[in-house]
Structure 1
Amino acid sequence: MSQNEATEIQFRSDVTVELIKHAASDADVLWAARVSTKGESSLEEIQADPERSRGLINFLMRDRHGTPFEHSSMTFYVRAPIFVFREFMRHRTFSYNEESGRYRTLEPVFYVPAPGRKLVQIGKPGKYEFVDGTEEQRSLVAETTKESYRQAYRAYVEMLEAGVAREVARTVLPVGLYSSMYATCNARALMNFLSLRTRREDSAFPSFPQHEIEMVAEKMEAIWAELMPLTHAAFQSSGRVCP
């Protein structure tokens, strides 16, 4: 790989989350719930003021009547390291489409932990915490990851230039490479995701997500809270338990 190509490598410490399209509001919960008692007249709730039915949303959340929260849809564009996507895709209630290294040349954008990212794990799985680590460890992580990425992408380019197929050449690339995807879900699926991928002191059930997927989850939650504020508030007050 030439010197010019080498300088094009980018290092990032953040993630991108954008709302592409949605059909999601608190009113969606109301008409879906009231069909059980009002039948076809529940359609009147589509134009109703959700504030007048805050109590119903709270009741559904508290007593875990979950299906009314499924009548919504949100599609997010996410750009993050591949290792984040591999955790993300354990949530099979989302629909995913990710860019493919078989069909396009992958861009040299790689993840390097930000200075504030805690580096050292203390304790065993299920009962552990992370601490900052030393300056020497922080320097080691930054320098080693960057050099590893440079070597990996150099090998990738060399194989491509030699005529090797993209799907073969990509095998040398690490999971710190950035990828992009569309992820579509309903509010119930998103609440399940948030309950597991964010850490909050007031959660009924503690969760210990990896820092990088929590960055994605926090951005998604901020967007969702604006779309469905009453549902989000009920989720919070119920201990962040998915109904």
Structure 2
Amino acid sequence: MPLSPDQQAEIDAQRAQSQPTLRATSKGIEAQLYRAHPVLDHGFVRVIDYMGDDAAITQAARVSYGRGTKSVQNDEGLIRYLMRHWHSTPFEMCELKLHVKLPVFVARQWIRHRTANVNEYSARYSVLDREFYIPAPEHLAAQSSINNQGRGATLEGDEAARVLETLKADSDRAYDHYEQMMGQEGQQGLARELARMNLPANVYTQWYWKVDLHNLFHFLRLRADPHAQYEIRVYAETICDLVRDWVPLAYAAFEEYRLGAAQLSATGVQVVRRMLAGEEVTQETSGLTKREWAELMGVIG
């Protein structure tokens, strides 16, 4: 379970409180505030706070005194224009603060996006819980033979069972030693900041992660992609659902021009134009490498 009864009671108490405000609010994200959305076996994503809405984007783009125009269609058209032409600063006017519980190895991949404010649970001051990410059998896969950072076929039978047993046993043994090093009765014990180094990368950590909408969209474009590692992709997909509720017009533009779109090189555009003109173009005559040609063919079919 991602949440204990005490944690759930704390969330329920937060959601029961209400404060009047003059600032812009979004009904969709208000309904999600503080609620924990489970991810993986022990993880979750929670919205802690936010600033701005769709109207804040158009207001900033126009530097206006009001909240956008009288026409929702005009606001939607402007947001789509801004997204289509890669205008970033109006989207930076909106911010989202998340509370995320995630395995350490996912956190180390996530933190590569250096455009957010992060405060992580400190294992120097507190003892980490005995919670480890253990993949479901369908997510145990061999190394890909064609992609150095990807997965291949799913492990099956005895091999899958052996890997799962090893992961569970090593995790428990490491945590047992972690507790023992911090001291038994009558012992001084090792400092928590040193004992933590014995824990495996699948132990869970937590952090607050605050990011503006422009940089959040960049994160989601990479991590919600089907090629992203499964364990971070499911977090990104959960966040996508929250952002859709928060800024529906901006998220629809993001889906149209980022998630569901493709980018062509200058040479790739010329190849497409030559094909449309009736020319038979091959990889050898295209000016593209074999990998670039394969990627272009994947886009245009």
Structure 2 residue 61 is the aligned partner of structure 1 residue 33: yes
Structure 2 residue 213 is the aligned partner of structure 1 residue 187: yes
Q: How far apart in 1 are the matches of 2:258 and 2:214?
A: 15
Which amino acid letter does the alignment assign opposite residue 77 of structure 1? H
| Preserved contact between residue 118 and residue 130 of structure 1 (Cα < 8 Å) | no
Name 2:115's counterpart in structure 1.
93
Name 2:128's counterpart in structure 1.
106
Name 1:75's counterpart in structure 2.
97
Q: Could you say if the C-alpha distance between residues 167 and 30 of structure 1 is closer, same or farther in structure 2, counting changes exceeding 3 Å?
A: same
Q: 158, 176, 188: which is aligned to 1:154? A: 176
Q: Could you say if the C-alpha distance between residues 128 and 169 of structure 1 is closer, same or farther in structure 2, counting changes exceeding 3 Å?
A: closer
Q: Could you say if the C-alpha distance between residues 127 and 172 of structure 1 is closer, same or farther in structure 2, counting changes exceeding 3 Å?
A: closer
Q: More strand per residue: 1 or 2?
A: 1
Name 1:135's counterpart in structure 2.
157
Q: How far apart in 1 are the matches of 2:240 and 2:54?
A: 15
Q: Could you list the per-position Cα deviations for residues 24-50 of structure 1 after superposition, in whole angstroms to 9, with x for gaps in the alignment?
A: 311111011112xxxxxx021258664
Q: Could you list the per-position Cα deviations for residues 34-73 of structure 1 after superposition, in whole angstroms to 9, with x for gaps in the alignment?
A: 12xxxxxx02125866444111001011111111100011
Structure 2 alignment gaps of length 5 or more: 1-39, 262-301
Name the TM-score, length of structure 1 as normaliser.
Answer: 0.83
Q: How far apart in 2 are the matches of 1:166 and 1:127?
A: 33
Q: Could you list the per-position Cα deviations for residues 93-144 of structure 1 after superposition, in whole angstroms to 9, with x for gaps in the alignment?
A: 1110000110001111011001321412322336855332212232122100
| Preserved contact between residue 140 and residue 160 of structure 2 (Cα < 8 Å) | no
Name 2:45's counterpart in structure 1.
17
Number of residue pairs matched by the alignment: 217
Q: Which has the higher contact order (CA 8 A, sep 6+)?
A: 1
Q: Could you list the per-position Cα deviations for residues 143-178 of structure 1 after superposition, in whole angstroms to 9, with x for gaps in the alignment?
A: 001100111011111111142110111111011000
Which amino acid letter does the alignment assign opposite residue 195 of structure 2? A
Q: Percent identity?
A: 34
Q: How far apart in 2 are the matches of 1:224 and 1:214?
A: 15
Q: How far apart in 1 are the matches of 2:118 and 2:181?
A: 29
Which amino acid letter does the alignment assign opposite residue 152 of structure 2? F
Q: Could you say if the C-alpha distance between residues 48 and 84 of structure 1 is closer, same or farther in structure 2, counting changes exceeding 3 Å?
A: farther
Structure 1 alignment gaps of length 5 or more: 1-11, 36-41, 201-207
Q: 210, 225, 232: which is aligned to 1:199? A: 225
| Preserved contact between residue 223 and residue 232 of structure 2 (Cα < 8 Å) | yes
Larger C-alpha radius of gyration, 1 or 2? 2
| Preserved contact between residue 27 and residue 50 of structure 1 (Cα < 8 Å) | no
Q: How far apart in 2 are the matches of 1:136 and 1:144?
A: 12
| Preserved contact between residue 243 and residue 251 of structure 2 (Cα < 8 Å) | yes
SS at match of 1:104: coil
Q: Could you say if the C-alpha distance between residues 181 and 134 of structure 1 is closer, same or farther in structure 2, counting changes exceeding 3 Å?
A: same
Greater than 4 Å deviation, 4+ residue runs: 46-51, 126-129
SS at match of 1:57: helix
